[in-house]
Amino acid sequence: MKVTIWPANIDSKKTVKEGRKISKKYAVSTPKLREISRAAGKLGLNPEVEKDKSYPKSWWENSGRVTVDKNQPKREILIKISNTIRGLRK
């Protein structure tokens, strides 16, 4: 089973209405697809990047998305990816 991760899901600059799925203390500022993919790869989640997709709530932005293997609840996956990105940025 796969789960879709949009950059908006872990973006601390977005509101919950704009698509953020985790609290701001876990979220990262403007995550890039490359960062999400690298973090998911480090976590062994077999990421697949789709650059030409748009998040439904902001259909005019071509943000792209990453699909990963679902081996735990989506929220936990988002927090782990966000924490990994934070570690990669240091």
The order of strands in the sheet holding 65-69 is 2-5, 65-69, 48-50
Indicate the domain borders of the chain: 2-89
Question: 2-89 has which CATH code?
Answer: 3.30.56.30
Q: Tell me: the pLDDT tens digits for 8-54? A: 999 999 999 999 999 999 999 999 999 999 999 999 999 999 999 99
The mean pLDDT of 51-77, rounded to a whole number, is: 95
In 3-state terms, what secondary structure has residue 49?
strand
Element (H, E) at 48: strand 48-50
Q: The pTM is what?
A: 0.92
Q: Tokens for 67?
A: 């699909």
Band (pLDDT 50/70/90 cuts) for residue 90 is confident
What is the chain's alpha carbon radius of gyration, rounded to the nearest angstrom? 12
